[in-house]
Amino acid sequence: MKIGFGCDHAAVELKTILMDHLKERGFECVDYGAGPGEKVDYPVKGLAVAEAIARGEVDKGVLLCGTGVGISLSANKVPGIRAAVCSEPYTAKLTVEHNNANIIAMGARVVGSELAIMIVDAFFDAEFQGGRHANRIAMISDIEKKYSREA
Ligand code: RB5
């Protein structure tokens, strides 16, 4: 699996830690920035990773900012993106199993690096369960279509 990483200036260090960890686990990781010392508004990186997923350049994403909220809100504006902010592993597992989330978002000012590693592991070890959950994902897509300017 290919994973895209994005963060703002609040989370560069955590991004490096998580990329190194997931590379060690055998995942291919693509870094969409920000780099060290760079000041970047979170919507820029939320969009970059979300569009990379939408284009099929990467399969899933990890987005990080101070809280994980701003960057996930930005990514969720791209059709087909389901970005979930998580600060513990249980939600990270369930958001894949039930919501088929394709992005995990976290706050570098909320979770420490050890907990963040447990959260990404729970996310990438989980599998979408389909069935009744697939119907609900289709309902989310219907909402997107209803409000899409391109529809
Ligand atoms: C940047 O200071 C901060 O606002 C941002 O990282 C994030 O927490 C927003 O949701």
Question: Which residue's CA lies nearest to atom 9 of ligand 1?
Answer: 70
CA of 14 to the centre of ligand 1 (A): 14
Q: Is the pLDDT of residue 147 over 50?
A: yes
pLDDT at 151: 47
Is 133 an active-site residue? Answer: no
pLDDT in tens, 61-103: 999 999 999 999 999 999 999 999 999 999 999 999 999 999 9
Question: Which residue's CA lies nearest to atom 4 of ligand 1?
Answer: 66
Domain that holds residue 128: 2-147
3-state SS class at 107: strand
pTM over 0.85, yes/no = yes
Look at the alpha carbons of 49, 100, 72, 106 in this order and tell me if their dihedral is positive or negative: negative
- The rounded mean pLDDT for the chain is 97
pLDDT at 150: 59
CATH classification at residue 58: 3.40.1400.10
Q: Residue 148 — very low, low, confident or very high, per pLDDT cuts 50/70/90?
A: confident
Percent of the chain with pLDDT over 90: 97
User: What are the pocket residues of ligand 1 if the criterion is a CB atom closer than 6 Å to any ligand atom?
Assistant: 8, 10, 42, 65-67, 69-70
Number of independent structural domains in the chain: 1
pLDDT at 149: 72
CA of 96 to the centre of ligand 1 (A): 24
CA of 10 to the centre of ligand 1 (A): 7
How deeply is 10 buried, as exposed, middle or buried, from its count of CB atoms within 10 A (0-12, 13-18, 19+)? buried
Percent of the chain with pLDDT over 70: 99
26: region left, alpha or beta (phi > 0 left; psi from -120 to 50 alpha): left
Is 65 an active-site residue? Answer: yes
Q: Is the pLDDT of residue 60 over 60?
A: yes
pLDDT in tens, 121-133: 999 999 999 999 9
How far, in Å, CA of 112 to CA of 96, rounded? 22
Q: Residue 139 — very low, low, confident or very high, per pLDDT cuts 50/70/90?
A: very high
Q: Which residues contact 144 (CB under 8 A, 6 or more apart)?
A: 79, 80
Q: What is the largest CA-CA distance in the chain?
A: 45
Q: Which H helix or E strand runs over 50?
A: helix 42-55
How far, in Å, CA of 15 to CA of 1, rounded? 18
